[in-house]
Protein backbone atom coordinates (compact mmCIF):
# COMPACT_ATOMS: atom_id res chain seq x y z
CA UNK A 1 0.00 0.00 0.00
CA UNK A 2 1.28 3.48 -0.91
CA UNK A 3 0.27 6.18 1.59
CA UNK A 4 0.09 9.61 0.03
CA UNK A 5 -0.55 12.83 1.92
CA UNK A 6 -2.20 15.25 -0.49
CA UNK A 7 -1.85 18.95 0.37
CA UNK A 8 -4.48 21.56 -0.48
CA UNK A 9 -4.50 25.02 0.98
CA UNK A 10 -5.81 27.75 -1.28
CA UNK A 11 -8.61 28.14 -3.79
CA UNK A 12 -6.60 27.25 -6.92
CA UNK A 13 -5.50 23.99 -5.28
CA UNK A 14 -8.94 22.50 -4.80
CA UNK A 15 -9.78 21.93 -8.48
CA UNK A 16 -6.33 20.33 -8.91
CA UNK A 17 -6.53 17.83 -6.04
CA UNK A 18 -10.13 16.81 -6.87
CA UNK A 19 -9.31 14.56 -9.87
CA UNK A 20 -6.18 13.18 -8.18
CA UNK A 21 -8.17 12.08 -5.14
CA UNK A 22 -10.81 10.56 -7.41
CA UNK A 23 -8.12 8.61 -9.25
CA UNK A 24 -6.65 7.37 -5.96
CA UNK A 25 -10.09 6.03 -5.03
CA UNK A 26 -9.96 3.78 -8.09
CA UNK A 27 -6.64 2.23 -7.07
CA UNK A 28 -6.70 -0.44 -4.38
CA UNK A 29 -2.97 -0.12 -3.67
CA UNK A 30 -2.99 3.61 -2.95
CA UNK A 31 -4.44 5.45 0.02
CA UNK A 32 -4.65 9.23 0.27
CA UNK A 33 -4.85 11.43 3.34
CA UNK A 34 -6.11 14.90 2.47
CA UNK A 35 -4.54 17.74 4.44
CA UNK A 36 -6.25 21.12 4.17
CA UNK A 37 -3.78 23.68 5.47
CA UNK A 38 -6.46 26.34 5.98
CA UNK A 39 -4.56 28.96 3.96
CA UNK A 40 -7.94 29.84 2.49
CA UNK A 41 -10.79 29.53 4.94
CA UNK A 42 -13.74 31.72 3.85
CA UNK A 43 -16.63 29.53 2.65
CA UNK A 44 -16.55 31.05 -0.86
CA UNK A 45 -12.78 30.41 -1.13
CA UNK A 46 -12.84 26.84 0.19
CA UNK A 47 -15.96 24.95 1.37
CA UNK A 48 -17.91 25.75 -1.83
CA UNK A 49 -15.29 23.94 -3.89
CA UNK A 50 -15.40 20.84 -1.71
CA UNK A 51 -19.18 20.67 -2.14
CA UNK A 52 -19.32 21.39 -5.85
CA UNK A 53 -16.41 19.17 -6.86
CA UNK A 54 -17.42 16.39 -4.43
CA UNK A 55 -14.02 16.45 -2.75
CA UNK A 56 -14.08 14.18 0.30
CA UNK A 57 -13.84 16.10 3.59
CA UNK A 58 -10.23 16.80 4.55
CA UNK A 59 -8.76 14.32 7.04
CA UNK A 60 -7.38 17.31 8.92
CA UNK A 61 -7.56 21.09 8.66
CA UNK A 62 -4.47 22.84 10.00
CA UNK A 63 -6.29 26.20 10.22
CA UNK A 64 -3.21 28.20 9.37
CA UNK A 65 -5.11 31.28 8.15
CA UNK A 66 -3.70 34.50 6.74
CA UNK A 67 -0.55 36.41 7.64
CA UNK A 68 2.62 37.79 6.11
CA UNK A 69 4.43 35.31 3.89
CA UNK A 70 6.90 34.54 6.66
CA UNK A 71 4.26 34.11 9.35
CA UNK A 72 2.04 32.00 7.11
CA UNK A 73 4.90 29.81 5.85
CA UNK A 74 6.37 29.33 9.32
CA UNK A 75 2.99 28.37 10.78
CA UNK A 76 2.40 25.99 7.89
CA UNK A 77 5.77 24.32 8.46
CA UNK A 78 5.25 23.87 12.19
CA UNK A 79 1.83 22.28 11.73
CA UNK A 80 2.83 20.17 8.75
CA UNK A 81 5.85 18.77 10.59
CA UNK A 82 3.63 17.48 13.40
CA UNK A 83 1.22 16.05 10.85
CA UNK A 84 3.92 14.26 8.80
CA UNK A 85 5.68 12.89 11.90
CA UNK A 86 2.40 11.45 13.14
CA UNK A 87 1.38 9.86 9.87
CA UNK A 88 4.71 9.22 8.08
CA UNK A 89 3.39 9.13 4.50
CA UNK A 90 5.40 7.42 1.75
CA UNK A 91 4.85 10.44 -0.45
CA UNK A 92 3.67 14.02 -0.07
CA UNK A 93 1.83 15.30 -3.13
CA UNK A 94 1.64 19.07 -3.65
CA UNK A 95 -0.03 21.06 -6.42
CA UNK A 96 0.47 24.54 -7.85
CA UNK A 97 2.56 27.32 -6.38
CA UNK A 98 0.97 28.72 -3.24
CA UNK A 99 2.67 29.06 0.14
CA UNK A 100 1.14 25.75 1.29
CA UNK A 101 2.81 24.00 -1.67
CA UNK A 102 6.26 25.26 -0.77
CA UNK A 103 5.90 24.80 2.99
CA UNK A 104 4.79 21.16 2.64
CA UNK A 105 7.67 20.43 0.27
CA UNK A 106 10.28 21.93 2.60
CA UNK A 107 8.98 20.00 5.60
CA UNK A 108 8.74 16.70 3.71
CA UNK A 109 12.21 17.07 2.19
CA UNK A 110 13.72 17.75 5.64
CA UNK A 111 12.02 14.62 7.01
CA UNK A 112 13.30 12.51 4.09
CA UNK A 113 9.79 11.97 2.67
CA UNK A 114 9.49 11.92 -1.14
CA UNK A 115 7.60 14.77 -2.79
CA UNK A 116 5.55 14.82 -5.97
CA UNK A 117 4.87 18.26 -7.46
CA UNK A 118 1.93 18.56 -9.82
CA UNK A 119 2.31 21.60 -12.10
CA UNK A 120 6.10 21.58 -11.85
CA UNK A 121 8.46 23.63 -13.99
CA UNK A 122 6.30 26.66 -14.80
CA UNK A 123 8.43 29.80 -14.67
CA UNK A 124 7.56 33.48 -15.07
CA UNK A 125 11.27 34.34 -14.55
CA UNK A 126 10.05 37.11 -12.25
CA UNK A 127 11.13 36.56 -8.66
CA UNK A 128 9.07 39.53 -7.45
CA UNK A 129 6.10 37.14 -7.75
CA UNK A 130 5.70 35.17 -4.51
CA UNK A 131 4.55 32.18 -6.56
CA UNK A 132 7.80 32.13 -8.57
CA UNK A 133 9.81 31.73 -5.38
CA UNK A 134 7.44 28.96 -4.29
CA UNK A 135 7.84 27.19 -7.63
CA UNK A 136 11.64 27.33 -7.55
CA UNK A 137 11.91 25.97 -4.00
CA UNK A 138 9.28 23.29 -4.57
CA UNK A 139 10.84 22.02 -7.78
CA UNK A 140 14.38 22.04 -6.37
CA UNK A 141 13.26 19.66 -3.60
CA UNK A 142 10.73 17.44 -5.40
CA UNK A 143 11.34 13.85 -6.45
CA UNK A 144 8.57 13.59 -9.05
CA UNK A 145 8.03 16.65 -11.23
CA UNK A 146 4.75 16.44 -13.13
CA UNK A 147 4.65 19.04 -15.89
CA UNK A 148 1.55 20.40 -17.59
CA UNK A 149 3.21 21.82 -20.71
CA UNK A 150 6.47 21.38 -22.66
CA UNK A 151 7.96 24.73 -21.54
CA UNK A 152 7.91 23.41 -17.98
CA UNK A 153 9.92 20.35 -19.00
CA UNK A 154 12.47 22.55 -20.77
CA UNK A 155 12.76 24.86 -17.74
CA UNK A 156 13.41 21.96 -15.39
CA UNK A 157 16.02 20.37 -17.63
CA UNK A 158 17.74 23.76 -18.07
CA UNK A 159 17.91 24.00 -14.26
CA UNK A 160 19.71 20.67 -14.14
CA UNK A 161 16.84 18.51 -12.89
CA UNK A 162 17.56 14.91 -13.95
CA UNK A 163 15.33 13.88 -16.84
CA UNK A 164 14.13 10.73 -15.06
CA UNK A 165 12.34 12.85 -12.46
CA UNK A 166 10.39 14.90 -15.02
CA UNK A 167 7.10 13.72 -16.55
CA UNK A 168 4.90 15.58 -19.02
CA UNK A 169 1.43 14.44 -17.92
CA UNK A 170 -0.93 17.26 -18.90
CA UNK A 171 -3.12 19.49 -16.80
CA UNK A 172 -5.12 18.24 -13.82
CA UNK A 173 -7.14 21.48 -13.70
CA UNK A 174 -8.42 20.62 -17.17
CA UNK A 175 -9.40 17.14 -15.91
CA UNK A 176 -11.79 18.98 -13.58
CA UNK A 177 -12.98 21.46 -16.20
CA UNK A 178 -13.89 18.73 -18.68
CA UNK A 179 -15.63 16.68 -16.02
CA UNK A 180 -17.77 19.57 -14.74
CA UNK A 181 -18.44 21.52 -17.91
CA UNK A 182 -21.88 20.06 -18.55
CA UNK A 183 -22.90 20.54 -14.92
CA UNK A 184 -21.74 24.17 -15.06
CA UNK A 185 -24.10 24.75 -17.99
CA UNK A 186 -27.02 24.01 -15.70
CA UNK A 187 -26.24 26.92 -13.37
CA UNK A 188 -28.27 30.09 -13.74
CA UNK A 189 -25.52 32.64 -13.15
CA UNK A 190 -26.10 34.43 -16.47
CA UNK A 191 -29.80 34.88 -15.73
CA UNK A 192 -29.06 35.96 -12.13
CA UNK A 193 -26.64 38.65 -13.31
CA UNK A 194 -28.80 39.65 -16.31
CA UNK A 195 -26.22 38.67 -18.95
CA UNK A 196 -26.60 37.42 -22.53
CA UNK A 197 -24.39 34.64 -23.89
CA UNK A 198 -21.33 35.97 -25.66
CA UNK A 199 -22.18 39.59 -24.89
CA UNK A 200 -20.24 40.42 -21.71
CA UNK A 201 -16.72 40.49 -20.34
CA UNK A 202 -15.36 38.90 -17.16
CA UNK A 203 -12.56 40.44 -15.11
CA UNK A 204 -10.56 39.06 -12.18
CA UNK A 205 -7.67 40.73 -10.35
CA UNK A 206 -5.86 39.50 -7.27
CA UNK A 207 -2.07 39.56 -7.87
CA UNK A 208 -0.29 41.71 -5.29
CA UNK A 209 1.49 43.47 -8.19
CA UNK A 210 -1.89 44.69 -9.50
CA UNK A 211 -3.96 45.22 -6.39
CA UNK A 212 -1.59 46.21 -3.59
CA UNK A 213 -0.62 49.49 -5.27
CA UNK A 214 -3.77 51.60 -5.00
CA UNK A 215 -2.84 53.83 -7.95
CA UNK A 216 -2.46 50.84 -10.21
CA UNK A 217 -5.63 49.21 -8.95
CA UNK A 218 -7.56 52.48 -9.47
CA UNK A 219 -6.23 52.75 -13.04
CA UNK A 220 -7.24 49.14 -13.77
CA UNK A 221 -10.75 49.72 -12.38
CA UNK A 222 -11.05 52.87 -14.55
CA UNK A 223 -9.96 50.82 -17.58
CA UNK A 224 -12.60 48.16 -16.83
CA UNK A 225 -15.23 50.89 -16.38
CA UNK A 226 -14.29 52.36 -19.77
CA UNK A 227 -14.68 48.90 -21.33
CA UNK A 228 -18.06 48.61 -19.59
CA UNK A 229 -19.36 51.41 -21.82
CA UNK A 230 -19.04 48.86 -24.68
CA UNK A 231 -20.33 45.71 -22.99
CA UNK A 232 -21.27 44.64 -19.45
CA UNK A 233 -18.21 43.64 -17.38
CA UNK A 234 -18.64 41.20 -14.48
CA UNK A 235 -15.98 41.40 -11.80
CA UNK A 236 -16.08 38.70 -9.08
CA UNK A 237 -13.88 40.30 -6.44
CA UNK A 238 -11.23 38.30 -4.55
CA UNK A 239 -11.02 39.07 -0.77
CA UNK A 240 -7.57 40.67 -1.14
CA UNK A 241 -8.86 42.95 -3.89
CA UNK A 242 -12.14 43.73 -2.12
CA UNK A 243 -10.21 44.89 0.92
CA UNK A 244 -8.07 47.28 -1.19
CA UNK A 245 -11.08 48.52 -3.22
CA UNK A 246 -13.10 49.24 -0.11
CA UNK A 247 -10.27 51.19 1.52
CA UNK A 248 -9.73 53.29 -1.61
CA UNK A 249 -13.47 53.65 -2.35
CA UNK A 250 -13.11 52.08 -5.78
CA UNK A 251 -16.38 50.15 -5.83
CA UNK A 252 -17.48 51.39 -9.27
CA UNK A 253 -21.17 51.33 -10.26
CA UNK A 254 -20.36 50.76 -13.91
CA UNK A 255 -19.11 47.21 -13.23
CA UNK A 256 -21.15 44.21 -12.15
CA UNK A 257 -19.34 43.42 -8.91
CA UNK A 258 -19.92 40.12 -7.15
CA UNK A 259 -18.32 38.15 -4.32
CA UNK A 260 -16.01 35.31 -5.45
CA UNK A 261 -18.13 32.77 -7.34
CA UNK A 262 -18.18 29.04 -6.89
CA UNK A 263 -16.47 26.76 -9.39
CA UNK A 264 -19.52 25.86 -11.46
CA UNK A 265 -20.89 29.39 -11.77
CA UNK A 266 -17.49 30.81 -12.64
CA UNK A 267 -16.94 28.12 -15.27
CA UNK A 268 -20.30 28.89 -16.85
CA UNK A 269 -19.57 32.62 -16.72
CA UNK A 270 -16.19 32.32 -18.46
CA UNK A 271 -17.33 29.74 -20.98
CA UNK A 272 -20.02 32.08 -22.37
CA UNK A 273 -18.01 35.33 -22.13
CA UNK A 274 -17.00 37.45 -25.12
CA UNK A 275 -13.64 38.03 -23.45
CA UNK A 276 -11.88 37.60 -20.12
CA UNK A 277 -9.39 40.00 -18.52
CA UNK A 278 -7.36 38.49 -15.70
CA UNK A 279 -4.11 38.27 -13.80
CA UNK A 280 -4.80 34.67 -12.71
CA UNK A 281 -2.66 31.77 -13.87
CA UNK A 282 -5.35 29.11 -14.02
CA UNK A 283 -7.85 31.23 -15.95
CA UNK A 284 -5.33 31.59 -18.79
CA UNK A 285 -5.44 27.81 -19.11
CA UNK A 286 -9.20 27.42 -18.71
CA UNK A 287 -9.97 30.01 -21.40
CA UNK A 288 -7.65 28.19 -23.79
CA UNK A 289 -9.75 25.04 -23.47
CA UNK A 290 -13.01 27.04 -23.53
CA UNK A 291 -11.82 28.90 -26.65
CA UNK A 292 -12.61 32.29 -25.11
CA UNK A 293 -10.22 35.23 -25.69
CA UNK A 294 -8.14 35.97 -22.59
CA UNK A 295 -6.23 39.21 -22.02
CA UNK A 296 -3.69 38.73 -19.27
CA UNK A 297 -3.01 41.89 -17.27
CA UNK A 298 0.59 41.00 -16.53
CA UNK A 299 4.00 41.48 -18.12
CA UNK A 300 4.84 37.79 -18.18
CA UNK A 301 3.22 34.40 -17.97
CA UNK A 302 4.53 31.11 -16.67
CA UNK A 303 2.08 29.38 -19.02
CA UNK A 304 3.35 30.28 -22.52
CA UNK A 305 1.48 27.46 -24.25
CA UNK A 306 -1.74 29.42 -23.68
CA UNK A 307 -0.32 32.11 -25.97
CA UNK A 308 1.34 29.79 -28.49
CA UNK A 309 -1.64 27.46 -28.90
CA UNK A 310 -4.44 29.02 -26.95
CA UNK A 311 -6.49 32.19 -26.76
CA UNK A 312 -4.27 34.10 -24.34
CA UNK A 313 -2.61 37.43 -25.04
CA UNK A 314 -0.27 39.25 -22.65
CA UNK A 315 -1.36 42.86 -22.54
CA UNK A 316 0.91 44.13 -19.75
CA UNK A 317 -0.11 46.49 -17.00
CA UNK A 318 -0.58 49.76 -18.87
CA UNK A 319 -4.36 50.33 -18.62
CA UNK A 320 -4.55 52.26 -21.92
CA UNK A 321 -2.83 49.42 -23.80
CA UNK A 322 -5.08 46.87 -22.09
CA UNK A 323 -8.21 48.80 -23.08
CA UNK A 324 -6.95 49.08 -26.66
CA UNK A 325 -6.33 45.32 -26.73
CA UNK A 326 -9.81 44.64 -25.33
CA UNK A 327 -11.47 46.83 -27.97
CA UNK A 328 -9.42 45.12 -30.70
CA UNK A 329 -10.53 41.74 -29.38
CA UNK A 330 -14.18 42.77 -29.62
CA UNK A 331 -13.68 43.57 -33.32
CA UNK A 332 -11.43 40.61 -34.18
CA UNK A 333 -12.69 37.36 -35.68
CA UNK A 334 -12.66 34.50 -33.15
CA UNK A 335 -9.33 32.74 -32.77
CA UNK A 336 -9.51 28.98 -32.63
CA UNK A 337 -7.39 27.45 -29.91
CA UNK A 338 -5.65 24.13 -30.20
CA UNK A 339 -5.79 22.04 -27.02
CA UNK A 340 -2.27 21.50 -25.66
CA UNK A 341 -1.00 17.93 -25.57
CA UNK A 342 -2.49 15.84 -22.73
CA UNK A 343 -5.00 18.52 -21.66
CA UNK A 344 -7.53 15.76 -22.23
CA UNK A 345 -9.01 14.87 -18.87
CA UNK A 346 -6.52 12.10 -18.11
CA UNK A 347 -3.63 13.89 -16.41
CA UNK A 348 -4.50 12.47 -12.96
CA UNK A 349 -4.61 8.97 -14.41
CA UNK A 350 -1.09 9.42 -15.84
CA UNK A 351 0.20 10.81 -12.56
CA UNK A 352 -1.10 7.91 -10.50
CA UNK A 353 0.20 5.37 -13.05
CA UNK A 354 3.67 6.85 -12.75
CA UNK A 355 3.54 6.96 -8.94
CA UNK A 356 2.38 3.35 -8.75
CA UNK A 357 4.97 2.16 -11.26
CA UNK A 358 7.77 3.87 -9.32
CA UNK A 359 6.61 2.64 -5.93
CA UNK A 360 8.39 -0.62 -6.63
CA UNK A 361 11.50 1.21 -7.85
CA UNK A 362 11.68 4.59 -6.06
CA UNK A 363 13.11 7.66 -7.75
CA UNK A 364 16.58 8.19 -6.19
CA UNK A 365 16.76 10.89 -3.52
CA UNK A 366 18.71 13.97 -4.56
CA UNK A 367 21.89 12.92 -2.71
CA UNK A 368 22.15 9.85 -4.94
CA UNK A 369 21.47 11.69 -8.18
CA UNK A 370 24.52 12.33 -10.31
CA UNK A 371 24.99 15.97 -11.27
CA UNK A 372 25.03 16.41 -15.05
CA UNK A 373 28.38 17.41 -16.54
CA UNK A 374 28.72 21.16 -16.97
CA UNK A 375 26.19 22.13 -14.32
CA UNK A 376 28.51 22.02 -11.28
Which residues carry out catalysis?
Answer: 206
> For residue 348, which of 97, 162, 116, 34 has the smallest C-alpha distance?
116
Q: How far is the CB of 359 from ligand UD1 (least distance, A)?
A: 30
- Note the residues at the interface with ligand UD1 (CB under 6 A): 10-12, 39-42, 45, 66, 97-99, 130-131, 206, 238-240, 243
Q: Looking at beta carbons only, is 76 or 352 nearer to ligand UD1?
A: 76
CB of 247 to ligand UD1, least distance (A): 12
Smallest separation, CB 265 to ligand UD1 (Å): 16
What angle in degrees, to the nearest 10, is found between the helix axes of 263-271 and 282-290? 50
At closest approach, how far in Å is the CB of 68 from ligand UD1? 9
Residue-level length of the chain: 376
Residue 271 or residue 284: which is nearer to ligand UD1 going by CB?
284
* Cα 201 from Cα 227, distance rounded (Å): 9
Instruction: Pick between residue 43 and residue 194 the one whose CB is nearest to ligand UD1.
Output: 43
Residues 327, 373: Cα–Cα separation, whole Å: 51
CA 260, 253, 242: angle at the middle one, nearest 5?
A: 35
Nearer to ligand UD1, 267 or 363 (CB): 267
Terminal-residue alpha carbon distance, the chain: 38
Kind of pairing between the strands at 312-314 and 201-204: unpaired
Query: DSSP letters of 107-150?
Result: HHHHTT-EEEEETTT---S-TTSHHHHHHHHHHHH-SEEEESSH
* Residue 336 Rama label (left phi>0; alpha psi -120 to 50; beta): beta
Q: How far apart are CA 36 and CA 75, in angstroms?
A: 13
The CB-of-320 to ligand UD1 minimum distance in angstroms stands at 26
Least separation in angstroms between residue 75's CB and ligand UD1 is: 12
The nearer residue to ligand UD1, 16 or 350, going by C-beta atoms, is 16
Q: Which of 90, 91, 98, 109 has the alpha carbon at shortest distance from 69? A: 98
Spatial contact of 313 and 296, defined as CB atoms under 8 Å apart: yes
Question: Which residue, 298, 259, 291, is CA-closest to 275?
Answer: 291
12 versus 310: smaller Cβ distance to ligand UD1 = 12
Amino acid sequence: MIHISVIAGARPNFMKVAPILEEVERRPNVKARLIHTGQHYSPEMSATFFEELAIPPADINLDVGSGSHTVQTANLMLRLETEFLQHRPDLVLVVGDVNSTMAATLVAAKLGISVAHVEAGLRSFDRRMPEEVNRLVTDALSDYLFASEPSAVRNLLAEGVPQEKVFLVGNVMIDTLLKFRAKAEQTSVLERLGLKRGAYGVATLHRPSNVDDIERLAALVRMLSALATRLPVVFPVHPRTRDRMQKAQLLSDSLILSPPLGYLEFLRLTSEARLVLTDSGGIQEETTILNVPCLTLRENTERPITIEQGTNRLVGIDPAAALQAALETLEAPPRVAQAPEFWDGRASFRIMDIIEAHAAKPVPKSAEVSIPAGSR
